[in-house]
Structure formats: structure tokens, C-alpha cells
């Protein structure tokens, strides 16, 4: 890690809930950390974020403490004092370490977090090579401020359910309308191989751009990872989804770019009609 | 049908105007006009009227509404006011009037008000039921839609779904419809509307089931001020007997204020990793802290497997609150919602449907 290097900020965003933002944020952070980068994972799903619970962390300090400190003594503010360390080592001595900035413990405190404070905190994480930020699913003032700061917007979607497809399309169109550069927005399809009538290719045609990456479906591995509080690289090292996260991390570090996997066979029929109706 | 009408009006010029209007119309026959409650209550019965137009801007008349309803249980009682006042209209509704109209009016408007109010259903204030979820993908919209369908079918009273999930509302997809008006138009115009003028903003789904959709661009949500949205709900209460309001996930101005206004707030979480119970507890702690009087917040879990009483009991122990209802996973549901066939797609004998019916019966009976 080079001194004075600017952090790459990757925000994990989506426009419909429950499609794997937190799992993606954790495993991307773990993947990057595993490659030797200094990584900070920030939970900005301020009301109901699950980063700490998924990692079985019990943070003693959170973003609320960081805000209080910033408001009281801005000059002495040291962001590192408000991070919680996550570290894991397996029996072979292999492991991973990264830092977490936890969400407020109480929902009431979530309401009190101010945007300039978040901007200040994210900017002061420059010690890290990568800052991975987990957002919630809405176009809020806070989320837009964070997307503005981000190097990369990892825009995540599960496209098995028509309302989710609609929200994915609306979300993408809105990001473009808000003038985020297309190069900055990386579309990532989650659960890409689950059995479903709508294919990733349908959605690519609808949105007019390709998926940057596709994560396969693997509930058992993800459940195991959450149950153990251990990122996939160590809880299920051989799973396809783990390899896919390693690939995604590699894409973001530009180490090696995998060939795009050939898209699934085209399906036509009933859904075409509905697509036309809502998006035509 | 010709309405044999008694006008009770404190403003003499307005009384004259109403009288002229009614005389012009074939639908109404003006029997008599009174300027105070006592004369009207004492004398009207000799005419055998079936319609009263009562000036509720007069405090005295507003208070005497129950007496009119007692004495003339078969007559339609319409409250009249010269400027729309949501509080007065609500008080009149609580007194069991047929409906409220803005005066002066055209005969057609009066007729439409009566017809609308009769179609609305029981002469009671509307039930306002909101659907809150800590996080998204909880089954919130599905539950709101299915309950609305079932209650519309069971009661024959009018039911409206209002999409308060302003950025990412999914209701039109569930029903495969393209509404012309949205919550944005409604909140923009609400100060100028009356129940009769407001009714066409709703999209008719079937028989007595209607919908007001959210805007098609997320940024338009910014145009909706919460207090105007509450005004929309209050006005809708004069058009529909049941209002089902789908809220955006989490705590935000809309979800907090609307769930606070609703008489019944269902809080919905989908069981996935099991951690959802903690989010539900944190949510219930905050909602209950509001100490709402005669208004309730009820936790509901979806995708509960196995969906049994025993499992519900376990969830209650873990949650620390009674669990009002649990719903099983229904594999069909994704394809049903995907194809816009929520009206017909869920098998009647499925456990999901049975649990929906149990919940809607509790709502109709007033148990919830």
C-alpha cells in the first residue's frame, strides 16, 4: 500500500431491497482485503444495516460517535478511532482483516446523522486503498451525496421478479438522468443463474447496456457465511459464488479481467409483452 | 329516483341559491327549508323526506346531526359546507352522514355525491390501514394487494389501494395496469378538490377496488409533501370505506406520518436469515413509543416456514410482542405478481390465501 494514495470508493447501491447489497459489500471487501489491500467497509444503511450482525461484530464505537467527535473537536478528529476491526484466521493460519465503520446502534440516532459529516468521514478514510460502502435502496439525499463521492457505483440487481426489474431499470435511468457517468456505474446481476423466466439478457436489452458482472445464486453458502460470521472466501472457499466474488474484486483492482461469460439462451414469450407495456 | 329534499341552512342567501338549484332539477323536489335545527327536527316528518342537506358549518347543526339520523334513519343525510374543511367533514362522517358536499353545487354534483357515498358503503369513517416494513422485500405490497382484493370481495364496500412507496411503488405491476393519475397529481391538486372531483384520480381495478399509483420517476417523490399526502388520505376517506396504504421501507417522513395517521399499521418483515426479528423488535419499540390512542401497530411475518401456531409462538417469544399474523412462502406468488395476475393467480385453497382471509375477516369485524 502506497502512502498518500487516494482511496477508491465503491458504493454498493440498488433500488430494490433484499437483493444482496450487504452480502456483496462484505464479500467484495473481504476479496479486496484478501488481495492485500487496506479496506474499510462502511455501513450507511443507517436504520437497518446488517454488516455488523452478518460479521458477528459487536462494535463499541459507531458512526454516531464519529459524528459527535467531529462536531466537538474537528481538528483532533481521527477516523481510525471509530472503526471496528474484523479479522479472521482459519486453522491454516490464513485469514483476512479489514475495518468496519458501523451503523448507529439506535434508529433514532440514524435520523441524526448529517450528510456533511458522512462526507467528511468518507473523505478522511483516505488511509485505505478501498472504501466499500453499503447503502440502502432509495434515492435519498445521503445516498446521492455518497454516489457523488464514489469512484464506482456497483449497481446491484436481482432480476427474477418483475417489480425488481422495473426498479432496476428506473434506478439505472435515474442515475443516468442525474448525470452519473456510465463508466462509473457497474451493473451487477445477483443470483444470475437461479431458475427464472426473466433472463439477464432480457434485462440487458431492456436497459441497453451489459452487466459488468454476474454473481451466481447460492443460498446455502451465503447462509453458512452469515451463520458463521465469516466471509465466503473462508466459509465456502470452493463455491462458485466465492470465485465470482474473487473475480469481481479482481476486476475492481484491474489485476485481470475475466472474459464475459456468454449470456444465457434467449427466451421470448409472455414477458416480452409485459416488458413492452411497462418499459416500451 | 326523485329525492324529496329538506334543506337546513343558516345562511339565507345560500338557502335561496340551493333552492333555485334544486327547483331546476328533475332529480330533486324541495319540500321545505329550515334555518335552525329545532324547526327542522320538529316539522320535517310531515313531509316524509328522503334527503336532508344540512349546513354543518353551523356548530349547532353539526352537533345535532345524530338527532337527524335517529329521527330519519332511512333518509340520506348530506353535510354541506362552503369551503372544504377536513375536520368538519370527518366529524360529520363520525355522526354517520351519507356524505359531504361543497356548496353552492350543481344538481349533478349533488346527485353524484349521493351515489358515490352510497357506493362507498357503511356510513362510518373509513378504515385507514398502512403497511410498514423495516426493510424492503418483505411481502408488504403483496399483502396490501391481497387484503384489499379480499375485503373488496367480502364487504361489497369500496376499497382503495394508495401507493405511498413514492420512489419505487410496485402496485401497478401487480395488477398489470397503467394509471393516468398519480399521488403527485393528487397531492398537488388536493386543496382544490372535493370527494366527487377526487374520485376520478383513482384507477378502477375491478368492481369496488381502486388504486392511486405512485409517480413513474423516483425524483417526483420530492414533489409530495407529507401533509398534503395526509390530506389526500383524508379526502379519499370520503370516497372509499377502506384505504390500504403501501409505505416505503424504513423510517422516513412519509412512513412515520402516514402510519401514525392510520388506525391500523401492519409492520411486515420476511423471515430470511432470522435476523429480521431483531429489526422488527427495534421497529416495534419505536412505533409503540408513540403511544397512539385507539390506533395499533401489529407485527406480521411473511415466508414463515413451517407456518404453524407453534412457529408463531416461537417468533413471539423471540420478538417480545404478540405476532398478529404469519404467512407461508407461496412459490406461485412470484410468477403471479410477474404476470400482473394477482387478482386471479393465487389458488383459493392455498395456506397463503386462507391466512389472508383470516386476517381480512378480523379487519372487517373490527377485531383488528
Strands (E), B174-275: 203-206, 209-212, 242-246, 264-270
Say what the pLDDT of residue A277 is.
46
Say what the pLDDT of residue A195 is.
65
- Percent of the residues in chain A that have a pLDDT greater than 70, as a whole number: 88
The dihedral of CA A86, A90, A93, A95: what is its sign? negative
Q: Is B61 helix (H, G, I), strand (E, B) or coil?
A: helix
Nearest CA in chain B to A139: B218
Judge: A198–B338 Cβ closer than 8 Å, yes or no: yes
Task: Give the ipTM of the model, two decimals please.
Answer: 0.85
* Distance to chain B for A36, nearest Cα, Å: 30
Contacts of A82 (CB under 8 A, 6+ apart): A61, A62, A63, A65, A66, A69, A101, A121
Q: Give kind and range of the element (H or E) at residue A253.
A: helix A240-253
Q: Give kind and range of the element (H or E) at residue B142.
A: helix B140-155
* Distance to chain A for B241, nearest Cα, Å: 28
Residue B261 sits at the vertex; the CA angle it makes with B259 and B264, to the nearest 5 degrees, is 60
Q: Which residues of A touch B342 (CB under 8 A)?
A: none
Q: Which residues of A touch B281 (CB under 8 A)?
A: none
A223 at interface of B, judged by CB pairs closer than 8 A: yes
| Closest by Cβ to B173, choosing from A19, A136, A163 | A163
Say what the pLDDT of residue A278 is.
47
Residue A262: is its pLDDT beyond 70?
no
Q: Which residues of A touch B334 (CB under 8 A)?
A: 160-161
B175 at interface of A, judged by CB pairs closer than 8 A: no
| Distance of alpha carbon A196 from alpha carbon A200, whole angstroms | 10
Judge: A137–B249 Cβ closer than 8 Å, yes or no: yes
Q: Give the closest residue to A228 by CA, choosing from A53, A99, A10, A29.
A: A53
Give the domains, in start order, of chain B with CATH numbers: 3-120 (3.40.50.2300), 127-365 (3.40.50.300)
A18 at interface of B, judged by CB pairs closer than 8 A: yes
A176 at interface of B, judged by CB pairs closer than 8 A: no
B164 at interface of A, judged by CB pairs closer than 8 A: no
Judge: B174–A163 Cβ closer than 8 Å, yes or no: yes
Q: Is B29 helix (H, G, I), strand (E, B) or coil?
A: strand
B351 at interface of A, judged by CB pairs closer than 8 A: no
Say what the pLDDT of residue A47 is.
95
Whether the CB-CB separation of B309 and B115 falls below 8 Å is answered with no
More confident residue, B226 or A280: B226
Strands (E), A174-249: 185-189, 213-214
Residues 27-46 of A with CB under 8 A from B: none
For residue B40 the three cell numbers come to 327542522
Q: Is B98 helix (H, G, I), strand (E, B) or coil?
A: coil
Give per-residue pLDDT as tens, B196-229.
Answer: 999 999 999 999 999 999 998 999 999 999 999 9
| Distance of alpha carbon B298 from alpha carbon B117, whole angstroms | 30
**pLDDT mean for each 10 residues of chain B (368 residues):** 94 96 95 95 94 97 96 96 96 96 95 95 97 92 95 96 95 91 96 95 96 93 94 98 97 95 97 91 94 94 95 97 94 70 77 94 96
Judge: A277–B334 Cβ closer than 8 Å, yes or no: no
Say what the pLDDT of residue A3 is.
42
Give per-residue pLDDT as tens, A32-84.
Answer: 999 999 999 999 999 999 999 999 999 999 999 999 999 998 889 999 999 99
Judge: A138–B270 Cβ closer than 8 Å, yes or no: no
Which whole-number Å values give the CA distances from B30 to A12, B6, B138, in the listed order? Answer: 68, 6, 55
The dihedral of CA A111, A80, A101, A185: what is its sign? positive
B337 at interface of A, judged by CB pairs closer than 8 A: yes
Q: Which residues pair with B203 in a beta bridge?
A: B211
Q: What is the mean pLDDT of residues A87-98?
A: 94
Q: Which residues of A touch B141 (CB under 8 A)?
A: 163
Judge: A174–B217 Cβ closer than 8 Å, yes or no: yes
Say what the pLDDT of residue B162 is.
98
Say what the pLDDT of residue A196 is.
67
More confident residue, B200 or A160: B200
Q: Which residues of A touch B335 (CB under 8 A)?
A: 197
A177 phi and psi, to 5 degrees? -65, -30
Whether the CB-CB separation of B206 and B174 falls below 8 Å is answered with no
* Distance to chain A for B149, nearest Cα, Å: 19
Nearest CA in chain A to B289: A108
B272 at interface of A, judged by CB pairs closer than 8 A: yes
Give the domains, in start order, of chain A with CATH numbers: 13-279 (3.40.50.300)
Say what the pLDDT of residue A4 is.
43
Give per-residue pLDDT as tens, A192-240.
Answer: 887 667 788 888 988 889 999 999 999 999 999 999 999 999 999 999 9
| Closest by Cβ to B168, choosing from A161, A167, A227 | A167
B300 at interface of A, judged by CB pairs closer than 8 A: no
Give per-residue pLDDT as tens, A104-125.
Answer: 999 989 989 999 999 999 999 9
Kindly report the three-state secondary structure assignment for every residue of A173-203: HHHHHCCCCHHHEEEEECCCCCCCCCCHHHH
B290 at interface of A, judged by CB pairs closer than 8 A: no
B179 at interface of A, judged by CB pairs closer than 8 A: no
Q: Best of B136, B252, B257, B302 to disrupt the A interface by mutation (most A CBs within 10 Å)?
A: B136
* Distance to chain A for B159, nearest Cα, Å: 23
B174 at interface of A, judged by CB pairs closer than 8 A: yes
Judge: B337–A166 Cβ closer than 8 Å, yes or no: no
| Closest by Cβ to B135, choosing from A17, A171, A197 | A17
More confident residue, A278 or A8: A8
- Decide: residue B140, CB within 10 A, 0-12 exposed, 13-18 middle, 19+ buried: buried
Residue A275: is its pLDDT beyond 80?
no
Say what the pLDDT of residue A256 is.
53
Amino acid at each position: 500500500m502506497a502512502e498518500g494514495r487516494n482511496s477508491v470508493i465503491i458504493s454498493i447501491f440498488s433500488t430494490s431491497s433484499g437483493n444482496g447489497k450487504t452480502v456483496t459489500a462484505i464479500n467484495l471487501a473481504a476479496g479486496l482485503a484478501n488481495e492485500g489491500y487496506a479496506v474499510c467497509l462502511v455501513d450507511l444503511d443507517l436504520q437497518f444495516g446488517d454488516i455488523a450482525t452478518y460479521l458477528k461484530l459487536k462494535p463499541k464505537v459507531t458512526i454516531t460517535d464519529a459524528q459527535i467527535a467531529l462536531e466537538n473537536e474537528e481538528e483532533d478528529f481521527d477516523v481510525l478511532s471509530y472503526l471496528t476491526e474484523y479479522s479472521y484466521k482459519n486453522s491454516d493460519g490464513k485469514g483476512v482483516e479489514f475495518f468496519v465503520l458501523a451503523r448507529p446502534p439506535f434508529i433514532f440516532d440514524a435520523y441524526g446523522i448529517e450528510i456533511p459529516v458522512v462526507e467528511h468521514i468518507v473523505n478522511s478514510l483516505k488511509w485505505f486503498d478501498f472504501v466499500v460502502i453499503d447503502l440502502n435502496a432509495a434515492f435519498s439525499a445521503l445516498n446521492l451525496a455518497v454516489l457523488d463521492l464514489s469512484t464506482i457505483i456497483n449497481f446491484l440487481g436481482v432480476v427474477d421478479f418483475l417489480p425488481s426489474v422495473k426498479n432496476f431499470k428506473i434506478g439505472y435511468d435515474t442515475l443516468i438522468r442525474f448525470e452519473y457517468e456510465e463508466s462509473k456505474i457497474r451493473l451487477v446481476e445477483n443470483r444470475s443463474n437461479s431458475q427464472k423466466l426473466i433472463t439477464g439478457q432480457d434485462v440487458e436489452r431492456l436497459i441497453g447496456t451489459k452487466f459488468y458482472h454476474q454473481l451466481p445464486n447460492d443460498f446455502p453458502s451465503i447462509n453458512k457465511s452469515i451463520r458463521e460470521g465469516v466471509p465466503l472466501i473462508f466459509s465456502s472457499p470452493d463455491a462458485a459464488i466465492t470465485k465470482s466474488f474473487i473475480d469481481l474484486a479482481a476486476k475492481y483492482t484491474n489485476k485481470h479481467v475475466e472474459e464475459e461469460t456468454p449470456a444465457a439462451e434467449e427466451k421470448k414469450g409472455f414477458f416480452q409483452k409485459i416488458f413492452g407495456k411497462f418499459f416500451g | 329516483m326523485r329525492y324529496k329534499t329538506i334543506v337546513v341552512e343558516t345562511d339565507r342567501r345560500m338557502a335561496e341559491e340551493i333552492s333555485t338549484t334544486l327547483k331546476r332539477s328533475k332529480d330533486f323536489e324541495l319540500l321545505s327549508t329550515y334555518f335552525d335545527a329545532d324547526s327542522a327536527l320538529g316539522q320535517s316528518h310531515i313531509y316524509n323526506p328522503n334527503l336532508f342537506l344540512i349546513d354543518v358549518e353551523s356548530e349547532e347543526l353539526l352537533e345535532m346531526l345524530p338527532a337527524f339520523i335517529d329521527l330519519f334513519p332511512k333518509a340520506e343525510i348530506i353535510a354541506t359546507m362552503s369551503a372544504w374543511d377536513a375536520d368538519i367533514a370527518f366529524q360529520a362522517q363520525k355522526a354517520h352522514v351519507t356524505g359531504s358536499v361543497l356548496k353552492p353545487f350543481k344538481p349533478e354534483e349533488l346527485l353524484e355525491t349521493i351515489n358515490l357515498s352510497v357506493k362507498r358503503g357503511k356510513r362510518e369513517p373509513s378504515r385507514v390501514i398502512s403497511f410498514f416494513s423495516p426493510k424492503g422485500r418483505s411481502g408488504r405490497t403483496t399483502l396490501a394487494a391481497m387484503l384489499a382484493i379480499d375485503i373488496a370481495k367480502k364487504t361489497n364496500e369500496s376499497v382503495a389501494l394508495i401507493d405511498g412507496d413514492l420512489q419505487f411503488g410496485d402496485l401497478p405491476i401487480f395488477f398489470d395496469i397503467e394509471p393516468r393519475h398519480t399521488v403527485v397529481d393528487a397531492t398537488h391538486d388536493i386543496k382544490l378538490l372535493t370527494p366527487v372531483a377526487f374520485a376520478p384520480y383513482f384507477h378502477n381495478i375491478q368492481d369496488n377496488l381502486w388504486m392511486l399509483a405512485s409517480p413513474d420517476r423516483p425524483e417526483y417523490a420530492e414533489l409530495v409533501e407529507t401533509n398534503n399526502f395526509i390530506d389526500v388520505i383524508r379526502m379519499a376517506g370520503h370516497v372509499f370505506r377502506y384505504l390500504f396504504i403501501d409505505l416505503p421501507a424504513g423510517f422516513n417522513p412519509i412512513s412515520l406520518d402516514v402510519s401514525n395517521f392510520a388506525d391500523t399499521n401492519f409492520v411486515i418483515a420476511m423471515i430470511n436469515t432470522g435476523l429480521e426479528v431483531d429489526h422488527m423488535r427495534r421497529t416495534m419499540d419505536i412505533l409503540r413509543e408513540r403511544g397512539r390512542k385507539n390506533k395499533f401497530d401489529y407485527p406480521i411475518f411473511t415466508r414463515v416456514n413451517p407456518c404453524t401456531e407453534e412457529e408463531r409462538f416461537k417468533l413471539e417469544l423471540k420478538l417480545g410482542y404478540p405476532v398478529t399474523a404469519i404467512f407461508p412462502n407461496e412459490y406461485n406468488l412470484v410468477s403471479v405478481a410477474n404476470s400482473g395476475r394477482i387478482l386471479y393467480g393465487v389458488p383459493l385453497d392455498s395456506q397463503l390465501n386462507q391466512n389472508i382471509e383470516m386476517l381480512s375477516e378480523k379487519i372487517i369485524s373490527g377485531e383488528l
